[in-house]
Amino acid sequence: MSEQITVFIVDDDEEVRDSLKLLIESVGLETETFDSAQSYLDSFDRSRAGCLILDVRMKGMSGLTLQEQLSKEPICPPIIIITGHGDVQMAVRAVKAGASEFLEKPFNEQELLDSIHVAIEKDAEQRGRASRLAEIQAKVDNLTDREKEVMELIVTGMQNKNIASELHISQSTVEAHRSKVMDKMQARTLSDLMRMIISLRPM
């Protein structure tokens, strides 16, 4: 992962924002701060890796609304929610909606830094998987329509002769397509191919 990792901080209290920035930078991480959910959203770039520290209660757009907006994106940075006293229920809602961690103010700094590291790893993982999927998709896109048709049937576990009768073509033609598919998809075995295709399907 050659890309720059950034910790994004969104809090409407300047002092909290600055103190978080100083703390996180003291362990050598890059930060970027925003004073409202809207300003973060405006400059949102899905390609940037890292994680997001989000105050749940803010003037204007709330942390939860921002989280909702981001969840529509295919890739969004993992979110660490920070809450004040009495906002625990709200935080639980945030976690259920996909936040990776929530911390109650005032929090232990080690806990925060640990959460940041977990979140960055999670981001890296999700970004890695995304690039793998993109590779598989590219291979699939390289197949001819007939090859795609044959592959769809292969991964259901159908025998060659059955595929031949299904597609009204000869068994030898099916075999030729099959070896072409395995070749183009760079799959060594049938189970390899099946894993690739299943990973493309929405979970």
Q: Are 8 and 42 in contact (CB under 8 A)?
A: no
DSSP letters, 85-145, are TT-HHHHHHHHHTT-SEEEESS--HHHHHHHHHHHHHHHHHHHHHHHHHHHHHHHHHTS-H
Shortest distance (Å) from residue 123 CB to another protein:
22
Residue 48: what are its φ and ψ, rounded to 5°? Answer: -80, 130
Of 2, 6, 8, 23, which lies in the binding site for another protein, with binding defined by CB under 8 A?
Answer: 23
Taking the least distance from each CB to another protein, the nearer of 86 and 202 is 86
Shortest distance (Å) from residue 126 CB to another protein:
28
Of 57, 127, 180, 184, which lies in the binding site for another protein, with binding defined by CB under 8 A?
Answer: 57
Of 74, 106, 157, 202, which lies in the binding site for another protein, with binding defined by CB under 8 A?
Answer: 106
Site for another protein in 76-105 (CB under 8 A): 84-86, 105
> In this structure, what token pair is assigned to residue 176?
């030729």
Of 3, 43, 46, 59, which lies in the binding site for another protein, with binding defined by CB under 8 A?
Answer: 59
Cα dihedral 88, 89, 92, 93 sign: negative
Q: Which residues form the interface with another protein (CB under 8 A)? A: 13, 15-16, 18-20, 22-23, 25-27, 57, 59, 84-86, 105-107, 109
